[in-house]
Structure 1
Amino acid sequence: MTTSDTAADYSTLKLDVPEGVQTVSITRDFAATPDKVFRAHVDPELFVKWCGPDSITNTIREWDARTGGRWSYIASDDRGEYGFFGSFHELRENERIVQTFTYEGFPDGVNLEILTLTDLGDGRTRLTSTSIFDSVESRDGMVASGMEHGIVEGYNKLDTLLNEA
């Protein structure tokens, strides 16, 4: 994992964690149309299948995927349960998701996530996501927790899910 101003390339994932800045940016291309990628992010039955590392099982507590709606889920593994919650600030179908994200273990740390889907043509989509943390220290703590691992495995599962659809 790099924490420099240079983006790291993990297979088809680009993760940028600039030194001294409270953001993480992700870029990932998918062999699926924007509507399919969008749906996988807002449909709770699909979301639980791909979000997070392979060792995680997700359970939805609340899911109201609309502008102004809320979401909440539990991620479980052999070490315990981890709760997450937030609100959908804006859903622009097949184009953009703006939401807050909070880990219950650190309730003072609210992130703003901006996800944009770009139609690359030929049935492909570029996902670009920027997470803005409340501080550089919060961002660094999330990165140190294994965030990269979960993103890579999650998006690999999303690839599989999208290819099955």
Structure 2
Amino acid sequence: MPTKTNREIYNERILQATLDRAYHAFSNPSLLKEWWGPEGFTNTIHEFDLRPGGKWLLTMHGPNNVNYENTSVFKTIKPQQLVSWSRTSKPLFDMEVEFIELNDSETQISFRMIFETASDCEKLRTFVGPKNEENFDRLEKVLLNVSV
């Protein structure tokens, strides 16, 4: 679904992958670390407790040699459907990642970032939207080698 309010950033992509493969690339930290974040970033995942109330702690290592600490708490886990979390490090927002099986070989993935205020959202919109697309580009490359 497209953005519903001026507090949201929404991106979606149709992946040439089964729902099982697409979800596995997210739910398996050893795969997730390979594609999470914009082009040029690498990740160290310190904790990935994929359950409601579980923590996700990671360090994103930027191409500029700056480390970005990310902390989040998972809210909703519906395997192969929806994963949501709240970031507890800045910038603060809620994130929803949705998986929709389109057919036997295609899956739609979407990112919905929900900010507290429209102002908070607008500060990041022009930067984050294109970076989410880079995330999807990286995911597509990882999916070429994922089997479940």
Secondary structure of 2:93's partner? Answer: strand
Once the two structures are TM-superposed, the CA of residue 122 in structure 1 deviates from its matched residue by 3.0
TM-score by length of 2: 0.86
Task: Give yes or no for the alignment of 1:96 onto 2:82.
Answer: yes
In structure 1, the residue matched to 2:141 is: 160
What does residue range 50-65 of structure 1 map to in structure 2 within 5 Å? Answer: 50-65=35-50
Match of 2:115 among 125, 128, 133: 133
Unaligned runs of 5+ in 1: 1-13
Task: Give yes or no for the alignment of 1:118 onto 2:100.
Answer: yes
Residue deviations 1:55-101 (CA, integer Å, cap 9, x gap): 11111122111222110111112241111111111111111112112
Kept after mapping to 2: 8 A contact 1:63/1:70: yes
Partner Cα distance (2:108, 2:13) in 1: 6
Once the two structures are TM-superposed, the CA of residue 21 in structure 1 deviates from its matched residue by 1.1
What does residue range 2-151 of structure 1 map to in structure 2 within 5 Å? Answer: 21-77=6-62, 78-102=64-88, 104=89, 106=90, 109-144=91-126, 146-151=127-132
Kept after mapping to 1: 8 A contact 2:11/2:133: no
Over the matched positions of the two proteins, sequence identity in percent amounts to 21
Residue deviations 1:119-152 (CA, integer Å, cap 9, x gap): 11131101133221011121122224x3233212
Query: Which runs of structure 1 show a deviation greater than 4 angstroms over 4 or more consecutive aligned residues?
Result: none
TM-score by length of 1: 0.78
Which amino acid letter does the alignment assign opposite residue 136 of structure 1? A
Once the two structures are TM-superposed, the CA of residue 51 in structure 1 deviates from its matched residue by 0.9
Kept after mapping to 1: 8 A contact 2:58/2:71: yes
Partner Cα distance (2:144, 2:9) in 1: 27
Partner Cα distance (2:38, 2:97) in 1: 20
| Number of equivalent positions | 145
**Structure possessing the higher relative contact order (Cα contacts under 8 Å, 6 or more residues apart):** 2
